[in-house]
Chains A and B, each alone.
Chain A
C-alpha cells in the first residue's frame, strides 16, 4: 500500500466513524424511541398515515411503550379509525394506568358505537377443539327459550336431619329424619320417572349432613331450586298443618326471626362485606340483584307449594313464612323449606306413617314444581 492509498483509507475510516457517532441508528437501526418521536412529529404535522407506520414500528420494537401506544391511538384517531384508536389507547392505559389522556380518550370514544376490530385467528388448543365438538353436539338440542320466566330443570332435594340428628320424634316413635328421607327419595324417583327435571339428593341414607354442606350440594349441581323437606313439631300437641318457609331480608314473624337467628348464630365464616368508599362494584350490584331475584322467586315457589298443599293434602294450611336464614341465603338459587305436617300431633303422625299419605305429599310437591 502506498502512502496515498493509506491516507485515502484513513480518511474513509474517519468519515465512517464520525457518521456513526452522529447517526448511530444507521448502524444499529432505529430504536422504538426514535420511531415514536418520529410519529409524534408526524402527528403534529398532520401526517397521520405516516405516523401510524412509524408508531406501529415503535410498538413492535417495544411492546411495553405506553407512550408509543398513546401516540398510535392519536394517529389512528386522526385517520378516523376508531376501533384501532381505542385499542391502542386501551393498551396504553393497561401499560400505564396513570395515562389520563389515553384513559379519557378511550372513555370519550367508547361512549358511542365503534366498529368491531378484526381479530387474528390462532390455532386451536386441544381443549378448544373438544369444546367446539361438544358445542356442536349440545347446542343443536339445547332448547332456547325467550322471555325472562324463571326456569327449573334441576332440583336438589334435601331430606332434613339424619344420622345422630333424628329431628323431632312423634309420640308413637316416628322420627322426622326417616320421614324426610323417605319423602325425598320418593320425590327423587318420581322426578326421574317423569323426566324433564333432573334431581339430586343431599343424603341417600341415615347419616348427618351439616347445614352448610346441604347448600354446597345445591351449588355443586348448579340446581335451579333447593327444596328442604321437614316435619314440624310443637310442644302443643294440637298444633297441626303444613307451612312453607323461604329466605328473605325481613322475617315475616317473630317466631321466624327467632328460628333464623338460632341457625345463623352457629356460622361464623363470612367476613362482613366491606364497602369501599368512592368505588362502584358492578359485580356486587349483580350479586345483590341475583340474590334478591332468588329471594323473590323463592317467595313465589313457596306460595305455589303452599297452595298445592292446601288443595291436595288433608292438612290445615298454616301459610308461608320468611326469614333471613344464613344457610338458605348462601344458596345460589331459590330455596324453600317445606313443613309437611306436625309429627308432634298424634293425628298428623299417624297420617305421616302411611304410604298413601306420603305419596299425596309427593304429588303436591310435584304439582308445585310444575
Chain B
C-alpha cells in the first residue's frame, strides 16, 4: 500500500512537472508567435496568439501589454485601456502598462490623470526616460520652460538615443533664448534622425533671429529637399524673403527687393504681399 501510494505520488509529480514544462513551452511558443505576427503587422493573428497566451497563463503581463498595444492599433481604445489596467492589477510596478495608461489619458485630453500616471512611474523607476519625456512635453505645452528643461534633461540623461527628446528639449531651451543649448539639442536630434524637419526649421529660426539670414534660408531649403510640401519651411522662407525685400527696399535697392519678392512668389504663389509689391515695384 505504502509503495503503491509512493508510486501514485511520484506519477502525479511527474505529470505535473511534465505538464508544467509543456505549459511553459506552449506559453513561450505563443508569445514568440504573437511577437512575430505583431512585428510583421499581422495584428489579428497577433491578437489571437496573445489571447491564447492569457487563456493559458492569465497572469502573463507581457501578453496583456501586447494585447493593449494591439487593441490601440486597432483603435479599440477601451479594450486597450482594460488590458493595461489588468497588468497594473497584476503588478503595480509594471511601468510599461502605466506609461500606456498615461498615453491613453493624453489621447482623451485628460491632463491630470495622464500627469499622475507619469509621476507614478517616476516614483517606481527614477530612471524611466519615457515618463520624463512625457512630463517634459506636458510642461512644454503649458509653456513652463524651466520645468520642461528639468524633465527633458532627465529623459535625455536616462536615454540619449531618442531624437524626439532632444528636439523637445531644444524647444524648451529655445523658449528661454538659451540658443547654444537649443542648437546643441536640435543638432543631436538631427544626428539621430537627419530627416527631422521640425528640428531643421527651428535651427533656421535661431540663425534668423540672430541675423544670419543666409544660414536660416539654407536650413529651410534643406527641409524642402526632404519634404517639398513642408508648410512651416514654405511660410518661413516666404517670410524671410519678404523681410529681405523690405530691407533691400528701405536701403534703396529696388532691384534686389524685386528679386526677393519673386523668390517669395516662387515659394508661395498665393502670397498677397509679394504679389502687390511686385506689381508696384516690378518694373525695376
Stretch in B7-15, B51-59, B92-100, B251-259 touching the partner:
B92-100
* Complex alpha-carbon distance, A154 and B276, angstroms: 31
Find out whether the CB atom of B276 lies under 8 angstroms from the CB atom of A148: no
Whether B146 lies near A144 (C-beta < 8 A) is yes
Contact B231 A269 (CB under 8 A): yes
Cβ-closest chain B residue relative to A283: B164
Given A113-B124, A127-B184, A290-B141, does the pair A100, B164 have CB atoms closer than 8 Å? no
Minimal beta-carbon separation of A299 from chain B (angstroms): 13
Stretch of A212-220, A300-308, A315-323, A354-362 lying at the B interface: A212-220
Contact between A285 and B107, CB atoms less than 8 A apart: yes
Please tell me if the beta carbons of A148 and B115 are within 8 angstroms of each other in the complex: yes
Residues in A neighbouring B106, C-beta threshold 8 A = 285-286, 289
Q: How far is the CA of A280 from the CA of B73 in the complex (A)?
A: 6
**Which residues on B sit within 8 Å (CB–CB) of A288?**
107
> Looking at chain B's contact residues, is the secondary structure mostly helix, strand, loop, or mixed?
helix
**Quick one: which of B93, B107, B142, B175 contacts A222, CB cutoff 8 A?**
B175
- From B41, B94, B138, contact of A112 by CB (8 A): B94
B16 at the A interface (CB under 8 A): no
Q: Of A101, A113, A220, which one neighbours B205 at CB under 8 angstroms?
A: A220
Pair A113/B95 contact, Cβ less than 8 Å:
yes
Q: Which of A112-151 touch B at CB < 8 Å?
A: 112-116, 127-128, 130-131, 133-135, 138-139, 142-146, 148-151
Which residues of A sit under 8 angstroms from B73, Cβ to Cβ? Answer: 278-280
B229 and A112 contacting across the interface, CB-CB below 8 Å:
no
Q: Mark contacts of B227-255 with chain A using CB atoms, 8 A cut-off: 1 yes-contact digit, 0 otherwise.
A: 00101101110110010001000000000
| Residue B213 interfacial (CB < 8 Å) | no
Contact present for A270 and B231 (CB under 8 Å): yes
In the complex, which of the residues B125, B229, B276 contacts A113, with contact meaning CB atoms closer than 8 Å? B125
Proximity string of chain B (267-281) to chain A, C-beta cutoff 8 Å, 1 when within and 0 when not: 010111100100000
Report the contact-size class of chain B (Cβ under 8 Å from the partner).
35 or more
B180 partner, pick from A131, A219, A294, beta carbons under 8 A: A131
Which residues of chain A come closer than 8 Å to B96, judged between CB atoms? 107, 110-112
- State which residues 139-167 of B face A: CB under 8 Å: 139, 141-147, 149-150, 158, 164
Chain A nearest Cβ from B261, distance in angstroms: 12
Please, how many angstroms separate the alpha-carbon atoms of A290 and B149 in the complex? 17
B18 at the interface (CB under 8 A from A): no
Q: Which residues of A contact B115 (CB under 8 A)?
A: 148
B-binding segment of A72-80, A203-211, A341-349: A203-211
Contact B39 A292 (CB under 8 A): no
Q: Is A104 located at the chain interface by the 8 A CB criterion?
A: yes
Are B234 and A280 within 8 A (Cβ)?
no
A111 touches B95 (CB 8 A): yes
Interface size on A, residues (CB 8 A): 73
A293 to B137 Cα, complex, angstroms: 12
Asked if B276 and A286 sit within 8 Å, CB to CB, the answer is no
Give residues of chain A (216-247) contacting chain B, Cβ–Cβ below 8 Å: 216-217, 219-222, 224
> Which parts of B170-194 form the interface with A (CB within 8 Å)?
171, 174-176, 178-181, 183-184, 187
Q: Does B61 contact A (CB under 8 A)?
A: yes
Query: Which 10 interchain pairs have the tightest Cβ spacing?
Result: A113-B125, A111-B96, A144-B146, A104-B35, A130-B180, A131-B180, A131-B181, A224-B143, A116-B127, A131-B184
Which chain A residues have a beta carbon within 8 Å of chain B's beta carbons?
97-98, 100-101, 103-104, 107-108, 110-116, 127-128, 130-131, 133-135, 138-139, 142-146, 148-154, 163-165, 207-210, 212-213, 216-217, 219-222, 224, 266-271, 278-280, 282-283, 285-286, 288-290, 292-294, 330, 333
Question: Can you list 15 contacts pairing A with B, beta carbon distance less than 8 Å?
Answer: A107-B65, A111-B65, A113-B93, A131-B178, A133-B180, A134-B178, A144-B146, A145-B144, A207-B246, A216-B235, A269-B235, A280-B72, A286-B137, A293-B109, A333-B143
Known: A131-B178, A144-B147. 17 other contacts (CB 8 A): A100-B35, A116-B127, A116-B158, A130-B180, A131-B180, A134-B181, A144-B146, A148-B111, A148-B138, A148-B144, A151-B144, A209-B242, A210-B272, A269-B231, A282-B103, A289-B106, A293-B141
